[in-house]
Amino acid sequence: MTAQSRSNRDLPFSMEDFAKALDGHDTIPEKGQLVTGKVFQHDANGVYVDIGGKSHGFLPLKEVSAELVTDLEDVLPLNQEREFLVIRGANAEGQVTLSIRQIEIKETWDTLNQFQETGETVEVEVTGTNRGGVVVDVRGLRGFIPRSHLVERHNLDALVGQRLTVTLLDVNPDDEKLVCSHRQAAKASRMRYLVAGELVEGTVANIKPYGVFVELGGVTGLLHIKQISKARIPDLDNLFEEGQPLKVIVTEIDEWKNRISLSMKELESYPGEVLEKFQEVMDNAEERFSHHQSEEESPETNSPETPQE
């Protein structure tokens, strides 16, 4: 290292550094740049902001917030320092156009992206309808719930003005696409409400060769054919019909796989009773369930079974 370079390095602040600092201070911010400034004047159409240097900024009323602003002076008092986004470069007078709303919108998109990843729910307000579903306000952003993802999908007009809890299916800030699901959120909430090992009431939603799907107030569980009776069942269609009320035991809840397993055979006093006296088993389900629980808790029934040869 030369003596000259060493001496330049040791100088605390050279004339060249000072000139560069002045140039930087007078640089007019460009579109997309974040700047710090202070409000110095209110106007009917917005506020004027001191951002330093040769230029100043104007924040239009519509860019103050993503939410409705009723009192501008209360939201942005004089001399309050905060961050602004430049959304339009300087005009002939050196004035740039600023926005807080755009900053809030980006922060909202980032938050909703996180919610989609974690499965967290968000509350929205229904603002309109179309043929495919309903339009919602999601923290100032326009979202959409498809008809297939609504719990109530028949009278969409009745939903306008209502607040719904939803999960997020598609969050795409580049395309401004925000798709939500009320049905999934309701299902997740109901699944959290259910407890494995409890007796619940439901209705037959669908009958398959391998079992019966049971509607449980917003969620559906599977009553597998092997869980209906301790005896072999030749034909499910002779035992069940869609819309039929049932009482079943929740045996397993797997939120990760979105699966609820059900059983009925524990309500039987003997193998095949469900086939012979179905309605009687249903009518006395609570008593039978309590008896089954007491048997499980008794020391005699908890003794180890003899291993099969």
pLDDT at 282 over 70: yes
Domains 120-187 and 194-297 are alike in CATH topology: yes
0.85 exceeded by the pTM?
A: no
Residue pair 58/33 in contact by the 8 Å Cβ criterion: no
**How does DSSP classify residue 61?**
G
Give the mean model confidence (pLDDT) for residues 16-22.
46
The least confident of 3-12, 26-35, 196-205, 212-221 is 3-12
Tally of CB atoms within 10 A around 68: 7
Task: Report pLDDT for 199.
Answer: 94
Domain boundaries, the chain: 34-99, 120-187, 194-297
pLDDT at 295 over 80: no
Element (H, E) at 254: strand 245-254
pLDDT at 17 over 70: no
Task: Report pLDDT for 298.
Answer: 63
Distance of CA 32 to the CA centre of its chain: 29
Element (H, E) at 4: helix 3-10
Residue pair 44/2 in contact by the 8 Å Cβ criterion: no
The least confident of 68-77, 136-145, 173-182, 207-216 is 68-77
Q: Which residue has the tokens 């908890």?
A: 302
Task: Report pLDDT for 140.
Answer: 87
Q: Which pLDDT band holds residue 110 (cuts at 50, 70, 90)? A: very high
The residue that leads in pLDDT, 24 or 227, is 227
Average pLDDT, the chain: 85
Give the mean model confidence (pLDDT) for residues 278-299.
85
Give the mean model confidence (pLDDT) for residues 251-271.
89
The dihedral region occupied by 32, where left means phi > 0, alpha psi between -120 and 50, and beta the remainder, is left
DSSP secondary structure string for all residues of 178-205? EEEEHHHHHHHHHHHH--TT-EEEEEEE
Q: Which pLDDT band holds residue 306 (cuts at 50, 70, 90)? A: very low
> Which CATH architecture group holds 194-297?
Beta Barrel (2.40)
Percentage of the chain lying above the pLDDT 70 cut: 87
Task: Report pLDDT for 253.
Answer: 87
Q: β-strands 56-60, 95-99: how paired?
A: parallel
Task: Report pLDDT for 272.
Answer: 94
- For domain 34-99, is the CATH number 2.40.50.140? yes
pLDDT at 109 over 50: yes
Q: Which pLDDT band holds residue 13 (cuts at 50, 70, 90)? A: very low
Indicate the SS3 state at residue 164: strand
Q: Which CATH superfamily is domain 120-187 in?
A: Nucleic acid-binding proteins (2.40.50.140)
Task: Report pLDDT for 15.
Answer: 44
